[in-house]
Chain A
Amino acid sequence: MDQVGPVLVDGVIYSAWLFIAAVGLTLVYGVMKILNVTHGSFYALGAYAGASLTGAWLARGYPPALSYAVLLGGALLVTLVFAPAIERGLLRFMYAKDEVVILLVTYALFLILEDTIKLIWGVNPYFVAEPYALLGSFEVGGLKYPTYNLILVGLALALAAGLAWVLHSTRVGKLLLAVIHDPEMSRALGVNVDRYYLVTFTLACFLAALGGSFTAPTVSVVPGLGVDVIVLSFAVVVIGGLGSLPGAALGAVIVGLVRSVSVHYMPQVELFVIYSVMALVLAFRPRGLFGLAEPRKI
């Protein structure tokens, strides 16, 4: 049985989704050295905002073609409401603490945001299939795929290209690289490091929310949506190397293909295989496939 075509298509679609969901995590770690557990909360927030706003938009009879803009707007809205408040109100007081302690702070925030979501949207599931159904489908190797998935792939490619361009070819990006390498020296040279932290954190959370809101039409949005995404994103960025953008892309492709192969041939080992890859990478290249060695400090 020839499944290579479908395996590849599934793998690419899943990789694109993983990249969108996880790239913000590596960005925040790279710049701020924070393993941000709230990343999953923003994914869930984005999904809820996308689903509920799009639902309201369509219920009023506005043109469904614009619902993609509503998904985008929803992600932007929740991010602007929560992310700057979290960074300015809490995280910035924690930067002096140990990496692991900051991780626990974000874990506490994750617990708080889980219930905030329930308070805002209740516990009933949300469905909005329209943006998904609107585009029809295409066929590969006898299997039908919704065209909507191509939007995810396009979005992932655009994000990867956009981030690479900003980071390496703009003034802001080069200053950000300086902040990554040495925050104190950058500060001494007059770079507003606090602002870079705020913008990076907000941007990363926006990417997570975007991942959530564009996934919302393909699933039913229920409480606990972000919990799986957190640990999956951890796997992706750890495989590629924490803090590395090409690493996140590579990690997403590896996990995406591995999952797709296991789903098609041996569905019962899906999770086992994904985390085994993560453990193997940690065992042989602890800093990830693209991670750089860090000098040992005495």
Chain B
Amino acid sequence: MKPDRTPALLGAILAAVVAGGLLLPQWTLFILTLACAQGLVVLGLVLLQRAGLVSFGQALFYCIGAYTAGGLSRAFGTGDLFVQMAAGAAAAALVAFVLGFLLARYRGIFFGLLSLALSMIFYGLIVKSEALGSTDGMNLVKTTLFGVRPDAAWVRYAMAVAAACVALGAAWLTHRYLRTPLGRLSPAIKDNEIRVEYMGASVRYAIHVNYVIAATLAGAGGALAATTVGHIDPEMAYWTTSGEFVFIAILSGTGSVIAPFLGALVFGAIHTVAYDVSPNTWQMSMGLALLAAIVFLPDGLWSLFAKRKTA
């Protein structure tokens, strides 16, 4: 068995963010922080994808996380990044635990459609609710870290480092989970569910657990995105947001827990460059990139690295 290099790689990336972040301009740190938020959501999608499930409604949990952060911010004036992320993750996990009993029975296109329907229900609720600001959404109080507001010149850097710590920590935990017997069950479920059942494992239980973990990650990601941007609106639950996450998941591939963050970063880079070059055709560039990824990199960006290793 090959030695597990992922923890060392995660550590190296964190060191690179801490050191490299000092040299990077402010706007790239912003993109980096957002990529951490999206990467968290996509990490969850990748967990589901390993079991052969694609959710077209992950924006539900992303938005729940964001609105939990928004609610904390409005009700208690809490702007602490870690408190918001923990609360967002907990709220999403709770909802996923309940919904999981239903969704764990679904496969293929029906899993996708039901998760889509659920996210649209949530969208329909918040878009019409005056208390949550309906279509305008709401603003959040300024982010603090452990109750301290960093100096204006350092706030982007501090947030990027904090986000990277949480994101890479989550990636490490997920990596550990994937090496447990339960975590190793997912690819088997994708291959042949009935054999898994005959082996004595419960497919529904495994999917339920994956679903709750995925939602927890998405909730944390939503809260991080909310406090980074400082504004939330119902669009965060709309199907196009879910579509973007699936896009990044396809771009990343399921090869490693680091892949989703790489994918999110590449997505952010394509998005920023395309928008900068031609504001009216950035979606076209994104569409072409997605097509290219599906046709030329069916196993995602990570397959570029994995292949090189074996060659």
Contact = CB atoms under 8 A, between A and B. Distances in A.
Interface stretch (A50-58, A68-76, A269-277): A269-277
B141 interface: no
Contact of A234 (B116, B129, B250, B287): B116
B290 A108 contact: yes
A99 interface: yes
Interface of chain B: mostly helix, strand, loop or mixed: helix
Given A116-B284, A238-B117, A278-B117, A271 B124 contact: yes
A118 B121 CA distance: 30
A108 B287 contact: yes
Nearest to A33: B109
B125 interface: yes
B289 to A, nearest CB: 8
B285 to A, nearest CB: 8
Contact of B281 (A35, A119, A274): A119
B280 A99 contact: no
B128 A115 contact: no
Contacts of B247: 104, 107
B19 interface: no
A268 B121 CA distance: 12
Contacts of B125: 272
A115 B279 CA distance: 10
A274 B121 CA distance: 8
A23 B283 CA distance: 27
Contacts of A227: 240
B280 A271 contact: no
B286 interface: yes
B145 interface: no
Contact of B110 (A103, A114, A275, A286): A286
Given A279-B121, A283-B102, A100 B108 contact: yes
A275 B113 contact: no
A114 B114 CA distance: 25
Residue of B54, B247, B281, B291 most packed against chain A (CB within 10 A): B291
A286 to B, nearest CB: 5
B109 A99 contact: yes
A160 interface: no
A122 B281 CA distance: 11
Contact of A269 (B112, B117, B128): B128
A113 B181 CA distance: 44
Interface in A235-282: 235, 238, 242, 268-276, 278-279, 282
B283 A114 contact: yes
B284 A235 contact: no
B149 to A, nearest CB: 37
A294 B110 CA distance: 13
B123 interface: yes
A96 B128 CA distance: 42
Interface residues of A, number: 43
Interface of A is mostly: helix
A268 B284 CA distance: 34
A103 B109 CA distance: 9
A112 B127 contact: no
Contacts of B297: none
Contacts of A65: none
A108 B286 CA distance: 8
B124 A274 contact: yes
Contact of B114 (A108, A282, A287): A282
Contacts of B109: 35, 99-100, 103, 242
A298 B280 contact: no
A116 B257 CA distance: 36
Nearest to B246: A104
Interface in A97-130: 99-101, 103-105, 107-112, 114-116, 118-119, 123
Given A101-B294, A238-B113, A282-B110, A115 B124 contact: no
A85 to B, nearest CB: 14
A278 B56 CA distance: 14
Contact of B118 (A115, A119, A279, A287): A279
A288 B12 CA distance: 50
A107 B244 CA distance: 10
A103 to B, nearest CB: 8
Contacts of A298: 192, 194
A271 B128 contact: yes
A231 interface: yes
Contacts of B291: 90, 105, 108-109, 112
B133 interface: no
A42 B286 CA distance: 19
Contacts of A101: 294
Nearest to A282: B114
Contact of B290 (A90, A104, A115, A274): A104
Nearest to B292: A108
Contacts of A286: 106, 110, 114
29 contacts: A99-B108, A100-B109, A105-B294, A107-B243, A108-B290, A109-B287, A109-B291, A111-B283, A111-B287, A111-B290, A112-B291, A115-B280, A115-B281, A115-B282, A231-B120, A231-B239, A235-B117, A238-B113, A269-B124, A269-B128, A272-B121, A273-B124, A275-B118, A276-B121, A278-B113, A278-B120, A279-B114, A286-B110, A298-B192
**Considering the complex of A and B, which 5 residue pairs feature the smallest CB-CB distances, nearest first?**
A271-B124, A111-B287, A115-B284, A112-B287, A272-B124
Given A108-B291, A227-B240, 11 more contacts: A35-B109, A101-B294, A104-B250, A111-B283, A112-B291, A115-B287, A272-B125, A275-B124, A279-B117, A282-B117, A283-B114
